[in-house]
Amino acid sequence: MKKLSSVICLLLVLLSNAQMQPIKQMQPIKIAVNKRFFTVNGKPFFWLGDTGWLLFKKCTKEEAILYLETRRKQGFNVIQAMLLHELDVIDAYGDSALFNKDVSKPNTTKHYWDMVDFVVNEAAKRGMYMALVPVWGGNVKNGHVSEQQAELYATFLTNRFKGKPNIIWLNGGDIKGSDGEKVWKIIGRTLHEKDSNHLVSFHPRGRATSSTWFHNENWLDFNMFQSGHKDYAQDTTEPRMGEDNWKFVVNDYALKPTKPTMDGEPSYENIPHGLHDSSAPRWTADDVRRYAYWSVLAGGAGFTYGENSVMQFKNSWNKDISFGAVKTWKEEINATGATQMQYVKKLMLSKPYFERMPDQALINNQGERYNYLAAAKGKGYVFVYTYTGRNIAVNMGKYAGRKVKSSWYNPRNGQYIAIGIFENNGGTKTFDPPGEEKEGNDWVLVLEDLPLAPEEG
C-alpha cells in the first residue's frame, strides 16, 4: 500500500509539472537601494517563506517535488531548510551527510548531497529560493564544531552552491549568537567572502534577533528574528515582546547601518503555545495572519510561515516527532494559514513597493496586544491592519491625498469590499470594519489617492 501511494503521488506530481509554465533563468536576490527590502533584477521581491526544516532528512525526491510544487501554487517563494540537523543525519535513502560526524568531511560518495542538489534545482525550476542553514545551532553550542572545521565546511558549501542562482545562507539555527559566537562569525565571514553572490543572514533562537550580536558584521546582509511560539503569559524573556512581533521590526528598523529585517519564525500553525505541552491551545491561521501583517506593516521585508507537521515532515510511521504533531505533513500542507499567506504578498506588491514605510502617526488610538493597529504608507496609498475588526480612526491630516478611495481588504481570501470615495478635509475619520469585533476578524483598511477632476485641481 505504501508503494502504491508513492506511485500515485509521483504521477500526480508529474502531471502537475507538465502543466507548469517554463521558468526563466533565476537571478540571485539582492538588497534594494533603500536597504529596507529585497529585489531581483531591480524589481520588488517580497520574501514569502515556509519552514521546511527537515526536508533533506525526511523526504524522498518524489515527496520533495510534491512539497515544492504545493508551496509554489500557494505563493511561497522561499523555503528555509537545514543542511545538517544533527551531525549523524541520515536521509530518506539511508545515506549520511558526513564522515564520522565531522562537518569538515562531507560524505559526497553517498546520495545525501546529491539530494540537496536535486531539491535546489527543483526549487529553481519553480522560481523558488532555498534559504539554507549550514548546521543547526545546538551542534555548535555543544562544542561539536570547531573553528577550523567550520571554515572548511563553509568553504565546501560555497564551492558546491555558489553557482546556483537561488541560494540564501541562514547562518546559525535557533541559537543565541553568543553560543559559539566565534564559529558563527567564521561561517558567516567565509560564506560572504567566498560566495559574494548570495545573501547571508542569521537565524536566532526564539524571542531574539540577529541584530543583537551581528548587526555590524559585514557578512550580515539582512536581519532575521524569531518571534517564537510563546504567548503573552508565557514570555519571560527581557525585554518582554510577548506576541508583539512588530516590536522586533521597530528595533531593527532604527539601527544603523540600515538593513532589511523580517520575522523568520513566528508561531507555527497547529503547534502548542510554548511548544512542549501538547494539551496547551494551538496556534491557528488567525494568529499566523496577525504575525504576518503586524511585522510587514511595521517595515518587514517579508515573512516566513510554518506548520507543525510540515516543518518536520511527519509521516504516519515517524518516531522522532516533536511538539505534539498529530496529522501527517501531506494532510497539513494545505492547512488554512498556508493557503492564506499569499494574500499578504499580493497586497504588498499591488502598490508602489519600495516607498512603503511604517507610519503609526496615521492612526488615532494605536491600541495594545490584540487591539494593536499597524499602519504603513507609500506613494499614494495607506494600509492599516486590525486583528479584531475594531474601529480605525485615521488622522486624515497626515494623509496627503485630497480625494480618497477607501476599501477593506480581506486577509482570508484577498478580496476587496468597497467603502466609498470621499474628500479629504483633514481631521479624524473613523472606519468600521465588516463583522463583529472579535479576535480573528482581521481586515486591512486600504486608502488610495484618486486624481482630481480638472476643475478641482
In order of their start, the domains of the chain are 22-349 (3.20.20.80), 359-456 (2.60.40)
CB within 8 A of 220, min separation 6: which ones?
A: 188, 200, 201, 202, 210, 214, 259
Query: In 265-366, which ranges are continuous DSSP H helix?
Result: 285-297, 308-311, 329-332, 336-340, 342-349
Rounded distance between C-alpha atoms, residue 184 and residue 191, angstroms: 11
Structure-block grid coordinates of residue 211 = 541584530
Residue 13 · residue 62 · CB < 8 Å: yes
The residue type at 401:
G
Per-residue pLDDT of the chain (457 residues; tens, 9 = 90+): 444 444 445 544 454 454 454 445 899 999 999 999 999 999 999 999 999 999 999 999 999 999 999 999 999 999 999 999 999 999 999 999 999 999 999 999 989 999 999 999 999 999 999 999 999 999 999 999 999 999 999 999 999 999 999 999 999 999 999 999 999 999 999 999 999 999 999 999 999 999 999 999 999 999 999 999 999 999 888 888 889 999 999 999 999 999 999 999 999 999 999 988 889 999 999 999 999 999 999 999 999 999 999 999 999 876 778 888 989 999 999 999 999 999 999 999 999 999 999 999 999 999 999 999 999 999 999 999 999 999 999 999 888 788 999 999 999 999 999 999 999 888 999 999 999 999 999 999 999 998 755 555 4
208: which strand partners? 226
Residue 242 · residue 287 · CB < 8 Å: no
The residue type at 243:
E
Rounded distance between C-alpha atoms, residue 48 and residue 301, angstroms: 9
Rounded distance between C-alpha atoms, residue 225 and residue 400, angstroms: 33
Q: Report strand pairing: 129-133 vs 208-209.
A: unpaired
Rounded distance between C-alpha atoms, residue 67 and residue 119, angstroms: 10
